[in-house]
Amino acid sequence: METAGQLAREEPQVHSTCRPWTVYTEFMLVVQIRLPATAKAGHFNASGIDFDAGEKVIVESDKGPEFGEVIRASYESREYDTPLFNKTKRVIRRASSEDEVLYTRKRSLEQEGYDYCAARIKERGLPMDLVKCDPSFDGRKATFYFTAEGRVDFRELVKDLAQRFRIRIEMRQIGARDAARVRGGFGHCGRPLCCATWLKEFAPVSIKMAKAQGLSMNPTKISGMCGRLMCCLRYETVDSAGNVKKGGCNGGGCGSGGGGCATSGEDDLAAAAGPNQPVD
């Protein structure tokens, strides 16, 4: 008969079909990049490359490769080490001298295309307001954003643009809110527009939200650059339980008590110190 000591010394048997748990100690390497074309800054998958602040890079975007600048060096983050983040955009490579030349041409074509298109619109008397000319990074296509009250026959305008620039032309009609997103600017709070920086979609905003918060009904006080009700009115809306709905830049309301567009003292110190500078 086996004693208790012999049983304790025996190693447990593991079935051959069982797979041990795998423990991952490395986190996702991410980098924060600003895209000059859209004035937006976001986090990208660094593809395992160590980037320093100030470096120029080429990143993935919905419109194809885009030119960007690193504003925070690569760092490991558990927050972005998720399957969802692995499916998002990544850094393709460091920008070469040829890439910088292409970006310079893109900026030049952006201004030239806007000026020429605006002149042709005025000459042809088309009922449309040009918002922006957005050439692709490779220079093969240019998208012209405009606003209009109704449908516009711009076929002759497209012929003029194609004949002048010899590239593919796309005309895209957008609404007032999207026009503010494309143009960019600053809101009443003095910060960059939410729609031009971090807001991904426009949620419904009603005048009832302004009344519930006791705000002035003066249109100039509660309207944004687009002429519509400010999106931030939704950040301070109180639900049926008496809680402020989450929204704004930091996930809360715009007031100092709810977070949102108001940053903490630590955030202000970090912004003043610059990227990758420790905050005491």
Is residue 25 a contact partner of residue 75, using CB atoms and an 8 Å limit? no
Phi, psi of 250 (to 5 degrees): -115, 20
Quick one: fold of 102-174?
A: GMP Synthetase; Chain A, domain 3 (3.30.300)
* For residues 144-157, average pLDDT: 93
pTM: 0.67
The arrangement of strands across the sheet holding 91-94 comes to 40-45, 28-35, 66-77, 56-59, 91-94
Which amino acid is present at 102? L
Name the residue ranges covered by the structural domains of the chain: 28-95, 102-174
Using CA atoms, how far apart are residues 187 and 67, in angstroms rounded to an integer? Answer: 27
* For residues 116-124, average pLDDT: 96
Using CA atoms, how far apart are residues 153 and 73, in angstroms rounded to an integer? Answer: 48
Residue 198 corresponds to which tokens in the numbers above? 């971090």
Q: What pLDDT is recorded for position 61?
A: 84
Q: What pLDDT is recorded for position 211?
A: 87
% of the chain residues with pLDDT over 90: 32
Which range of 30-34, 36-40, 80-84, 238-242 scores highest in mean pLDDT? It is 30-34
Question: Given the DSSP bridges, would you call strands 168-173 and 141-147 parallel, antiparallel or unpaired?
Answer: parallel
Cβ contacts of 50-57, under 8 Å, gap ≥ 24: 50/74, 51/91, 51/94, 53/274, 53/275, 53/276, 55/94, 55/95, 56/94, 56/95, 56/99, 56/100, 57/31, 57/33, 57/91, 57/92, 57/93, 57/94, 57/95
